[in-house]
Structure 1
Amino acid sequence: MASVEVSLKEMMAGVEGALGAAVVDYTSGMALGTLGGGKELDLNIAAAGNTDVIRAKVRTMEQLGLKGQIEDILITLDHQYHVIRLLTGRAGNGLFLYLVLDKAHSNLAMARHQLKRVEADIEI
């Protein structure tokens, strides 16, 4: 099992083109930990904003009567991918992994695979 700090390092080091990573509590919108980011990518603001994205999607699914769980959400920008992966299981309830990638220097499929691996190992 990996701590939040170790999980963040695995997210950043395990994916080429990673610009920033966070583990976020979407009940509060607060990041439990961040790595990377910078002046143009404030991961704490992104954590709070992406909490709203998750809440909106969950609400929409409820209104539509859709069953099942969200695996991940992908937001594609001109030069970046933003990947949100909700954690499943008792230990991850209410948490998500957030990874920002440089679109020109990353492999989206490999990033999703790495997030799945991090999800399996993280311990909160």
Structure 2
Amino acid sequence: MPGIDECLLETMRLPGALGAALVDWTSGLALGTIGDSPGGDHEAAAAETAEFARSAAEHPVFIPCAADTSGGPLPLEDVFVATQEGYHLLRFVRTAHDSSIFLYLWLDTELGNLALARLRLRELAERLVLV
């Protein structure tokens, strides 16, 4: 079971990985970062992606019809944005307390494999140990 540092190191092994972070979307704080960041500032990127993630997670159109009884609200699995500079993938992580954490991966558009990245982030999110 990987911790934050091990999890982020594993994300950087994905083809085309430019940078990654583990972010608390309620506070906008990065719990860990690795590699590059869009705009060159990991803290600013964490705050901005947290705002985006929070907006998506709380939007009524994405809330499931059935109540989630397995550890708190987590209506989304992934959020994906494609830009000319790269792919941005956010994977929401279920936690025991409030599920307000997501893995953020920035991929090169030429070298990145979105399907592989999504599968790998899912696996890492399930195995991630937060203490």
CA distance in 2 between partners of 1:103 and 1:117 (Å): 22
Aligned to 2:22: 23
| Per-residue deviation, 1:46 | 1.0
Q: Which has the higher helix share?
A: 1
The AA in structure 1 aligned to 2:6 is: V
Q: Which runs of 5+ in 2 are unaligned?
A: 66-74
Residue 86 of structure 1 is matched in structure 2 by 92
Q: Deviation of residue 41 (structure 1)? A: 3.2
Find the aligned partners of 2:8 and 2:111 in 1 and give their Cα distance.
19
Q: Distance in 2 between matches of 1:16 and 1:123?
A: 24
Contact 2:30 2:43 survives alignment (8 Å): yes
**What is the aligned partner in structure 1 of residue 76 from structure 2?**
70
Do the aligned residues in 2 keep the contact of 1:19 with 1:37 (CA within 8 Å)? yes
Shift of 1:66: 3.3
Listed as ranges, the gaps of 5+ residues in structure 1 are: none
Corresponding residue pairs, total: 121
Query: How many angstroms does 1:117 deviate by?
Result: 1.1
2:123 to 114, 117, 123: 117
Percent identity reads 35
Partner of 1:101: 107
Question: Does the 8 Å CA contact 2:38/2:45 hold for their aligned counterparts?
Answer: no
Could you say which residue in structure 1 is the equivalent of 2:33?
A: 34
Distance 1:65 1:104 in 2: 30
Shift of the 39–23 alpha-carbon distance from structure 1 to 2, 3 Å rule, reads closer
| 1:48-59 aligned within 5 A | 48-59=47-58
Local SS of the residue matching 2:110: helix
* Aligned-partner residue type, residue 63 of structure 2: L
Specify the SS of the correspondent of 2:107: strand
Which stretch of structure 1 is more off in the superposition, 106-115 or 41-50?
41-50
- Helix, strand or coil: the match of 2:12? helix
d(CA) in 1 for partners of 2:59, 2:111: 33
Write the deviation string for residues 58-93 of structure 1: whole angstroms up to 9, x where unpaired: 3322xx483261001001001300001110141671
Task: Please say if residues 20 and 43 of structure 1, whose CA atoms lie closer than 8 Å, have aligned partners that are also in contact.
Answer: no
Query: What value does the CA root-mean-square deviation take over the aligned residues?
Result: 1.9
Q: How far apart are residue 40 of structure 1 and its match?
A: 3.9
Hey, what's the Cα distance between the residues in 1 that align with 2:127 and 2:5?
12
Moved more, 82-91 or 48-57: 82-91
